[in-house]
Structure 1
Amino acid sequence: MQVIPAIDLRGGLCVRLRQGDYDRETVFGDDPAAMAGRWVSEGATRIHLVDLDGAKAGKPVNVDAVRAVVQSVPVPCQLGGGVRDEKTIETWLEAGIERVIVGTQALRDPSWFRSMAEKHPGRLVLGLDARDGMVATDGWLETSNVSAAELAGRFDDLPLAAIIYTDIARDGTLEGPNLDATAALCRRVKTSVIASGGVGELADVDRLAALPVVGCIVGRALYEGKFSLADAVERAGRASARP
């Protein structure tokens, strides 16, 4: 299981939101590229980027900061936030992003998402952000009447790179991931699943590594020094090596 550090961008700064609330923001740094370099030095083999401004605006905003990150690290980067048209996908791919995450627009326009996934095989990720099991959209400002599992099932035949499942109630907290919902999603689909939200201690890394997930995204716990990325990578590697 890959441990993937998150860098959330707002106004060019590294921030974290609590439960997706833009009014509950903590700034952790003013140099995203330097932050990415730190995580790579501690063993990161992938960086997770979120354009928080883009999620609200519905278009790329933190492009310069993203380019700086991509150019500064030797590992692939994935990015989400406001990806709602083909031009945005192409903007991020041209900026050097390996995987582009689509959430809101996949729900709003399934046929468009299908066409994009088929046009860019292995380059798109379905971002499933859920509140009480239902898909949240528009930077988590709205909640739909479609369940995360149902939406994942609709697109399981596509050549997606992965599905990222985030329980909003856990995101930006240190309360532990939603293991039951994550495991249920893994059972529902054949597409690789990456868990996100709530990792607060090394034991959470162990618990996720016991599930059939290919990665877990970690944010606040790293920034607040609850554990080091190096320790998390080592724990995930040890768990993956078990027979």
Structure 2
Amino acid sequence: MIHIIPAIDLIDGQNVRLTKGDYQSKTMMKRTPAEAIQFYSQFEQVCRIHVVDLMGALKQEAVETSLITELKKQTQLPLQIGGGLRNKETIAKYDAAGIDYFIIGTRAITDIEWLKEVVSEYPNRIIVGMDAKEEDIYINGWTENSGITITDYLTQVESLELAGIIYTDINKDGMNQGPNFEKTAYINQLTRHIVIASGGIRDKADLNRLDKEGITQAVVGKASHQAAFWEGIQ
């Protein structure tokens, strides 16, 4: 059974969704962040909740720390937090607030030596956010091409004690067209790390297909806000 990780994306304390990472495409979700936390916590197949500080990702520093700290108090499920985690001080602050997993994108991609230090301090609690178009990994809120390919990057982090790697095909994100099944399965074969599918997951059929490809966890964004998605999911 594949585990679902529903997403809550934050801008100015509000629960939003973007399309292809475009901040101009912001759409408000019907549930507040607190309401979403309560809603997702009722499903057995939800293993944890994915919370992203979108302005933190853009500004390269955590913005929503106070709200995220409050959200953590409202569920027994683990939280994985991303957006603006660029230094050990921010991670330590979230750690003190009881946050379980830390998603690091840009700096994890561009500064491997720093990533090694962080992983040594928080073994099996760091999740790398690997956001890509084709083979190219993008950084800084998906606004810049890092110049690093997926294959080269995986080689560099293979020995680290990561909690997982979230692979997002940027061109699929928010498009309601399904994830990049083939690429996700390919990446899963390239690494020993847990590969967490993300971007474009629509329904239970998509989850079943990922499950057949050997994927054990999936972040679900826009679809997780729809009642129809949860029909038949326990």
TM-score, normalized by length of structure 2?
0.95
Which residue of 98, 119, 131 maps to 2:100?
A: 98
Give the counterpart letter for 2:138 in structure 1.
A
- 8 Å contact from structure 2 (residues 7, 224) kept in 1: no
Residue 31 of structure 1: CA displacement? 2.6
Q: Take 1:156 and 1:143, find their aligned partners in 2: how far apart are those partners? A: 22
> For 1:185-215, what per-residue CA distance to the aligned partner results, in whole angstroms no more than 9, with x for missing partners?
1111001111001111221011111122220
Q: Which amino acid aligns with 1:83?
A: L
Q: What whole-Å deviation, never above 9, does each CA across 1:125-167 have from its counterpart, x for those lacking one?
A: 1110111221010011111221123212210100111111111
**1:136-215 maps to which residues of 2 (within 5 A)?**
136-215=138-217
Q: Distance in 1 between matches of 2:144 and 2:100?
A: 28
Question: Residues 18 and 25 of structure 2 are in contact (CA less than 8 Å); yes or no, is this contact kept in structure 1?
Answer: yes
**What residue in structure 1 maps to residue 136 of structure 2?**
134
Distance of 1:65 and 1:133 partners within structure 2 = 35
**1:237 maps to which residue?**
none
What is the CA–CA distance in structure 2 between the aligned matches of 1:114 and 1:100, rounded to whole Å? 14
For residues 149 and 114 of structure 2, the distance between their equivalents in structure 1, rounded to whole angstroms, comes to 19
**Do the aligned partners of 1:5 and 1:46 also contact (CA within 8 Å) in 2?**
yes
- Alignment correspondent of 1:39: 40
Q: Is the 8 A contact 1:13 1:30 kept in 2?
A: no
CA distance in structure 2 between the partners assigned to 1:126 and 1:58 by the alignment = 16
Counterpart AA for 1:72: Q
For the residues of structure 2 that align with 1:171 and 1:125, how far apart are their CA atoms?
19
Aligned residue number for residue 218 of structure 2: 216
Partner of 1:12: 13
Query: Where does structure 2 lack aligned partners over 5 or more consecutive residues?
Result: none
State the Cα distance separating 1:226 from its structure 2 match. 4.1
Q: Which amino acid aligns with 2:111?
A: D
CA distance in 2, matches of 1:226, 1:177: 18
Query: Matched residues in 2 for 1:224 and 1:143: separation?
Result: 32
Amino acid at match of 2:27: T
Separation in 2 of the partners of 1:37 and 1:152?
A: 35
Q: Which amino acid aligns with 1:172?
A: G
Between Structure 1 and Structure 2, how many residues are aligned?
232
Query: How far, CA to CA, are the matches of 2:228 and 2:202 in structure 1?
Result: 7
Looking at structure 2, the residues matched to 2 and 60 of structure 1 have their Cα atoms a distance apart, in angstroms, of 27
Equivalent residue, structure 2, for 1:239: none
Per-residue deviation at 1:87? 1.0
Backbone CA RMSD of aligned residues: 1.4
1:112 maps to what in 2? 114
Tell me, in whole angstroms, the C-alpha distance in 2 between the residues paired with 1:96 and 1:27.
27
CA distance in structure 1 between the partners assigned to 2:167 and 2:86 by the alignment: 18
Offset of residue 29 of structure 1 = 4.1
Q: One-letter code of the match for 1:5?
A: P
CA contact (8 A) 1:173 1:200 kept: no
Cα drift, residue 221 of structure 1: 1.1
Q: Distance in 2 between matches of 1:130 and 1:231?
A: 31
What is the Cα deviation at residue 58 of structure 1?
A: 1.1
Query: Structure 1 CA distance, aligned partners of 2:75 and 2:124?
Result: 21
Q: Is the 8 A contact 2:50 2:219 kept in 1?
A: yes
Contact 2:130/2:165 (CA < 8 Å) preserved in 1?
Answer: yes
| Structure 1 stretches of at least 4 aligned residues deviating more than 3 Å after TM superposition | none
Deviation at 1:30, TM superposition (A): 6.0
